[in-house]
Amino acid sequence: MTTSGLNSDFDTTSQGPLVDPFGRQVSYLRVSVTDRCDFRCFYCMSEHMNFLPKKEVLSLEELDRLCSAFVDHGVKRLRLTGGEPLVRKGILSLISSLSRHLDSGALNELTITSNGSQLKNMSKDLASMGVKRINLSLDTLQEKRFTEITRWGRFAQVMDGIEAALAAGIHLKINAVALKGVNDDEFDDMIRFAHERGMDLTIIETMPMGEIDGDRLDMYLPLSQVKQQLAQSWELEPIPYKTGGPASYMRVRETGGRVGFITPLTHNFCESCNRVRVTCTGTLYLCLGQEDAADLRAPLRASESNDLLNQAIREAISRKPQGHDFVIDRANNRPSIGRHMSVTGG
């Protein structure tokens, strides 16, 4: 990965905003609160996963303190992920506590990525705590296919969760992973389903992360092909809309709704990257598609003061790379990144 533009005089002691060596301000933090999930989507993880022991996972209080440290450094957008974040015991108490940063104006947005399984019972509480937007992972609208993809998921439960979230006033964005030979006949239906309910749809190329039971290469579908397919049914208009994430958006003229495309393999989206990820163990990953990381759990637990934590954060940001190295290893059929997406957080 090229390092052109790297500032060798990077300041790791400043208490101001987090600016990486390429001049990009880190204002978006994604935090995995658990590696556990109540689904076992076959493109994401093995059906028989070994999850982390409790002692390695940050407590809710530690997660609050860590997130708040980033807010103090100018992070404006915070997303809680997993695994499935809403299966973490006590998660609503953490969200309620973090919402104080919304009330103070220090944080602009507190969002969640979810599979929808818990939304029927939690949507009202989430809305009352200031969660206005949720990214919901849904790869099919066919119940039998949903069971095949998720292995353990219940389709009706997710549909009920969608209705509950919308009724609570939460804006939903549907994230669908494009899987060749699995759901590539459904994108027209998914556009209709999402746009009829006022939801955006984002289609994502499969990411080569973690060993799975099947062959990821067999499922890889370039989104250039998806766009060609959609263009046969819809008139797609490029728009400048951005949410702070890596998706590029187009408007579907016939519905007025938006459809986004995330292309980590066919198009590198790193030039404006403003985000970093922290795992539930306190490991800070500077890039989803790189292995370089920093341990924040040790300084977090070493002192009640945030001095060591702040130093570790800023030192890590000084190493943030210019871009990722995602690639499908066709010769060895191996993921380019060994860790599962559920470990890093979606």
- Write out the binding residues: 30, 37, 41, 43-44, 79, 83, 113, 137, 173, 207, 270, 273, 275-277, 287
Whether cis (ω within 30° of 0) applies to the bond prior to 181 is no
Radius of gyration of the chain (CA): 20
- Binding site, annotated residues for GTP: 30, 79, 113, 173, 275-277
Annotated binding residues for S-adenosyl-L-methionine, written as ranges, equal: 43, 83, 137, 207
31: tokens are 């935090």
Q: β-strands 109-114, 77-81: how paired?
A: parallel
- Please state the residue numbers annotated as binding site for [4Fe-4S] cluster: 37, 41, 44, 270, 273, 287
Torsion of CA 112, 113, 116, 119, to 10 degrees: -10
